[in-house]
A and B are shown apart, each in its own frame.
Chain A
Amino acid sequence: NAGVTQTPKFRVLKTGQSMTLLCAQDMNHEYMYWYRQDPGMGLRLIHYSVGEGTTAKGEVPDGYNVSRLKKQNFLLGLESAAPSQTSVYFCASSYFPARNGYTFGSGTRLTVV
């Protein structure tokens, strides 16, 4: 049981480049989330999904887009990367968030130069 898998684990982008972060879960969870974690700022929600084909904005959605075409996958896209998007990105999924909490991936460390 792999849980939540994020790819890639590390990436360096130049300003203006685009990329997609992939999150895959094999637990049949309905809920999926993308967070970014920055020193002194904690975990901040970027976008989330409550089921296949649905997405919603979180606390810091600007500069990011997401898609949930399949239940098991949640993609995070950066169309034109900026240095302010340098961060560690975490994907999480859940069956029943209020009781069972989230299962997190191991993160993607992104540097934009």
Chain B
Amino acid sequence: TQLLEQSPQFLSIQEGENLTVYCNSSSVFSSLQWYRQEPGEGPVLLVTVVTGGEVKKLKRLTFQFGDARKDSSLHITAAQPGDTGLYLCAGVRGSQGNLIFGKGTKLSVKP
């Protein structure tokens, strides 16, 4: 059973378009994190959201944590080719903070 479901799995868009990636679960998480991974590299942390309903912005990226702390979304405005990569959400469970990762959304932004 996959605790964190990400959708869509693949997304191919043109430069300048907007997009939203979703991360859903039936479980409650103490916090949720988003990572971006480029080919041949490890994931890099983008943001951590902690409070239900929290919204964080990172330049053209907007992250939202659901009120019930079971889901999250990542919205990218005016996507650029440099946004291309695998976007992973990860939920924090347990006192030791082990992360549970979704399978990721592979984004391709074409010039």
A residues contacting B by CB (< 8 A) are 4, 31, 33, 35, 40-43, 45, 48, 50, 58, 90, 92, 94, 96-107
Contacts and interface: CB of A to CB of B under 8 A. Distances in A.
Given A97-B92, A101-B48, A102-B43, 20 more contacts: A31-B97, A35-B101, A41-B103, A42-B101, A42-B104, A43-B43, A45-B98, A48-B96, A90-B42, A90-B43, A92-B42, A94-B97, A97-B97, A98-B30, A102-B45, A102-B99, A104-B43, A105-B42, A107-B40, A107-B41
Contacts of B90: 101
B13 to A, nearest CB: 22
B31 A98 contact: yes
Given A90-B42, A106-B41, A107-B40, A99 B98 contact: no
Contact of A106 (B31, B42, B99): B42
B98 A48 contact: yes
Contacts of B43: 43, 90, 102, 104
B79 interface: no
Given A99-B31, A106-B40, A43 B45 contact: no
Contacts of A94: 97
Contact of B98 (A40, A97, A103, A104): A97
A82 B44 CA distance: 30
B48 A43 contact: no
A1 to B, nearest CB: 15
A104 B99 CA distance: 13
A35 B41 CA distance: 14
